[in-house]
Amino acid sequence: MKLTKKSHSCVRLEKDGRTLVLDPGGFSEPDAAVGADAILVTHEHPDHFDEGRLRAALEADPATEVWTLKSVADRLAAAFPGRVHTIGHGDVFTAAGFDVQVHGELHAVIHPDIPRITNVGYLIDDGRLFHPGDALTVPDRPVATLMLPVMAPWSKISEVIDYVREVKPQRAYDIHDALLTDLARPIYDSQIGALGGADHRRLAPGASADV
């Protein structure tokens, strides 16, 4: 499986000539979802879900399909009948040749005064990769590659480190990093790498790795 990092929380996965894109939101490249055979969206926040980007991808290729939770699906389903699938925790499906299991139900707490929205994570190919969206969800099976929300308004670095420890992946690649400045990156790299207990890596937008 080829992993290509896009900006912020968006990643592209390629296998057997097919492409799966996760979370092409407003912080990612305008064409992040174009050319995808399937698109997964974790939740409705604009840095993960950009309606214009998804509509452009769906209009460009009539075979492209989307799997997402109800709050996102409701905004697209009427315009693309049969191509937008509503999913939730515990669901299992195949998208673009990738086996997908859905884990999690709620977004991480931003502040007690802010109501929590729904959020799901996607476990790909029986644990080969896990993208949690905006939550520190721990799947019920081993994870080889964890897409790690490294910096967010709802987290602190101790929670990020403890999350890596709890998931126990073989490797963790940074996502949710658009707000992290280059000045701060060495601090995150050294502390997560030293204390997380897993191989901690990051890719620049556009860079790829085999996972």
Strands ordered across the beta sheet of 145-149: 92-95, 98-103, 121-124, 129-131, 145-149, 171-175, 199-201
DSSP strand E in the chain: where?
2-5, 11-15, 18-22, 38-41, 65-68, 84-86, 92-95, 98-103, 121-124, 129-131, 145-149, 171-175, 199-201, 208-210
Q: Band of the pLDDT at 83, cuts 50, 70, 90?
A: very high
Closest CA relative to residue 106, chosen from 121, 96, 116: 116
Inter-residue contact 50 to 56 (CB < 8 Å): no
Query: Comparing C-alpha atoms, which of 64, 53, 210 is closest to residue 144?
Result: 210
Q: Does domain 2-210 bear CATH number 3.40.50.1860?
A: no
Single pTM value for the model: 0.97
Where do runs of H (alpha helix) occur along the chain? 51-60, 70-73, 157-167, 185-195
| 28: its two tokens | 């990612």
Q: What are the CA-CA distances from residue 159 to residues 74, 88, 89, 156, 174 (Å)?
A: 33, 25, 23, 6, 14
**What is the predicted pLDDT for the residue at 28?**
96
Which residue has 């996102």 as its token pair? Answer: 72
Give the per-residue pLDDT at 181.
93
Quick one: pLDDT at residue 134? Answer: 98
C-alpha distance across the termini of the chain, in Å: 6
pLDDT, position 52: 93
- As given in the structure block, the two tokens for residue 59 are 């209009």
Instruction: Write down the pLDDT at residue 102.
Output: 98
Question: Which residues lie closer than 8 Å to 30 by C-beta, 6 or more apart?
Answer: 53
* Tokens linked to 48: 């993960």
- At 28-73, the pLDDT tens digits run 999 999 999 999 999 999 999 999 999 999 999 999 999 999 999 9
Share of the chain above pLDDT 70, in %: 100
Q: Vertex 135, ends 204 and 81: CA angle to 5°?
A: 85
Q: What is the pLDDT of residues 128-155, one digit of tens each?
A: 999 999 999 999 999 999 999 999 999 9
Distance CA 172, CA 193 (A): 9
What is the pLDDT at residue 8?
Answer: 98
What residues does each domain of the chain span? Answer: 2-210
By C-alpha distance, which of 202, 163, 157, 196 is closest to 182?
A: 202
| Mean pLDDT of the 193-198 span | 96
Q: Which of 40, 1, 6 is nearest to 23 (CA)?
A: 40
* Average pLDDT for the chain: 97
Please tell me the predicted confidence (pLDDT) of residue 207: 98
For the chain, percent of residues with pLDDT exceeding 90: 100
